[in-house]
Amino acid sequence: MRAKVEIDNREYAVDFSKPIDISIPLVNGAINPVAWYLDAPKIEPVKEGKWIAAVAQGAVVNFNNIYFNPHGHGTHTECVGHITENVHSINQSLKTFMFSAEVITLIPEAQGEDLVFTKMQVAKTLGSKRPQALVLRTLPNTSSKKSRKWSNTNWPYLLDEAMGYLRECGIKHLLLDLPSVDREKDDGALASHKAFWDVNGTLRMDATITEMIFVPHTVSDGSYLLNLQIASFENDAAPSKPVLYALE
């Protein structure tokens, strides 16, 4: 199915039959990616006495419970409620789902014992483009990200200066392939989250951060249409399914 869309006063053709899914599916057990010192997620049939809700074990339906944490077990989208005392829901914060998007790829720079992404890197790569959403693919970019155990790895992160720059550029939605925009252990500073959501200014209630995506190497850097879909959870974060479409 092809349709025409207008982005930045230019008209593009989009083939909606060719989605590029950049989410990581939730999988039962150890193969699933895990962050924040959690155990693996569980997907298991309901059990009541000797009855097990699995067709393979004699039931007429498969009827599973799922135990997971959206922040630590895969692709998720979060709102400012992730870091505020007042409760804010991603389901109430994200009300539209189609955005102009730019995919960029960055190599982190060494800063002491850390690997970081700087304002200069982001500004140089983004150039004059001002999309609604930015998709950040980090190098190295191997398929192991889809099952990585991130806890206690001190993953690369964005400096707050870079996140402030994205805010100043008007980017509302940031998507990246790491468990957090912040340092894994930062004593609760959350400087990059706070800079993006402008905690010390006017809270950006409609801005989101999507973490733990995976952008295959077959996807070129450049401009896309993004469909950012979330599960309807009244929570600060929800599992999500960001999908890119090439612009022709």
pLDDT of residue 2: 86
Q: Minimal CA–CA distance to 166: which of 201, 193, 202, 200?
A: 193
| Contact of 106 with 139, CB cutoff 8 Å | yes
| Contact of 174 with 133, CB cutoff 8 Å | yes
DSSP per-residue codes, 163-208? HHHHHHTT--EEEESSS-SS-SSSTT--HHHHHHHTTTSS--TT-E
Tell me: pLDDT of 205 over 90.
yes
Q: What percent of the chain has pLDDT over 90?
A: 96
Q: What is the DSSP letter of 73?
A: S
Q: Minimal CA–CA distance to 71: which of 239, 248, 234?
A: 239
User: What are the chain's domains?
Assistant: 2-25+71-246 (3.50.30.50)
pLDDT of residue 246: 97
Structure-token pair, residue 71: 């922040």
Q: What are 22-59's pLDDT values in tens digits?
A: 999 999 999 999 999 999 999 999 999 999 999 999 99
pTM: 0.97
Q: What are 93-123's pLDDT values in tens digits?
A: 999 999 999 999 999 999 999 999 999 999 9
Q: Cα 124 to the chain's mean position, in Å?
A: 22
Q: What are 136-176's pLDDT values in tens digits?
A: 999 999 999 999 999 999 999 999 999 999 999 999 999 99
Distance CA(41)–CA(190), nearest Å, equals 25
Task: Give 10's pLDDT tier (boundaries 50, 70, 90).
Answer: confident
Q: For the sheet containing 109-111, what is the strand order?
A: 109-111, 114-117, 157-158
pLDDT of residue 1: 80
Tell me: pLDDT of 9 over 90.
no
Q: What are 55-98's pLDDT values in tens digits?
A: 999 999 999 999 999 999 999 999 999 999 998 999 999 999 99
